[in-house]
Amino acid sequence: MEDPKIWDDPKRAQELGKEKKSLEDIVLVLEAVDNGVNDGRELFAMGKEDDDDDTLLAVEADNAELEKKEETVKAVKAAGGDAFSIQGDLTKVPEVVRVFDKAVKRFGPVDIAINTIGKVLKKPILETTEEEYDSMFAVNAKSAYFFIREAAKHMNERGGKIISLGTSLLAAFTGLYSTYAGSKAPLEDFTRAAAKELGPRGISVNIVAPGPMDTPFFYPAESPDSVAYHKSSSMNGELTKIEDIAPIVKFLATDGKWVTGQIIFANGGYTTR
């Protein structure tokens, strides 16, 4: 990792901080489990508009989802990039360290790091157990914090982008999602602090907070009535789709260099914060 003081030299900062406006020849680390948006193929595809793109993708997979991540690896390679997956418990800090170490060893310093990890629980506070609380915060808060830390440690010297997926429930007045929204809430403070600390190195840190998404992650916790309610709360009566989110992630990863420390609520009017 370079000395952050080099960014105090305007000429050196300009040289190292040249904005990378395409996803050509970049190293992307994606922390993922299988919840639809998290299989990585849509986020990789966002950079394949040009035949010259040579995206290098490292996918860290939850223990139960390695087979699906291998499908992502095959899809990335078929599209002209290179990729590999790593199996591990994403709530264990050494495992997060390991994926970045392996990515850098194979591809070189990281340009973009995207954390799509999430676990949902819809349950009244009075029925929530200590074990459920601990599990939710381990997945949604702890893993996110150390993902940001390791991404920053392994970033390219010219700077980079760290992007996390949050939830629009952070702007909603609702019950039953106390451990889900509650364990995602710290991500806002992690992101603001990291953006402030890492800005001098040319690293932007942001959150994209989708509304309820039309993915396998959403439906198990919902009833037909609650699905209908969530749909009715958007501007067109639909759930958020992966295709609605990928272009925003791409913008933050390319042209959105001047956006940092922000949470972007992309939810079709589900909330208006």
For 183-211, write each residue's pLDDT tens digit.
999 999 999 999 999 999 999 999 999 99
Tell me the C-alpha distance between 258 and 118, whole Å: 27
Tell me the C-alpha distance between 252 and 266, whole Å: 13
Q: Which residues of 250-260 are buried (b: 16+ CB within 10 A; e: fewer)?
A: bebbbebbeeb
Helix, strand, coil content of the chain in percent (nearest 5) = 45, 15, 35
Tell me the C-alpha distance between 170 and 99, whole Å: 29
Mean pLDDT score across all residues of the chain: 83
> Among all chains, which residue has been given the structure tokens 């790091």?
113
Q: What pLDDT was estimated at residue 272?
A: 87
Per-residue pLDDT of the chain (273 residues; tens, 9 = 90+): 444 443 344 444 444 444 455 556 677 777 665 444 444 555 555 444 444 445 566 665 555 455 667 777 887 788 778 888 887 788 999 999 998 998 899 889 999 999 988 899 999 999 999 999 999 999 999 999 999 999 999 999 889 999 999 999 999 999 999 999 999 999 999 999 999 999 999 999 999 999 999 988 889 999 999 999 999 999 999 999 989 999 999 999 999 989 999 999 999 999 988
Q: What pLDDT was estimated at residue 13?
A: 41
Q: What pLDDT was estimated at residue 90?
A: 81
Contact, 115 vs 144, CB < 8 A? yes
Instruction: Using a cut of 0.95, tell me whether the model's pTM lies above it.
Output: no
Report phi then psi at 74, rounded to 5.
-60, -40
Sheet harboring 56-62: ordered strands across?
A: 82-88, 56-62, 27-32, 112-115, 160-165, 203-210, 263-266
Q: What pLDDT was estimated at residue 192?
A: 98
Q: What pLDDT was estimated at residue 22?
A: 57
Contact, 180 vs 140, CB < 8 A? yes
Contact, 84 vs 111, CB < 8 A? no
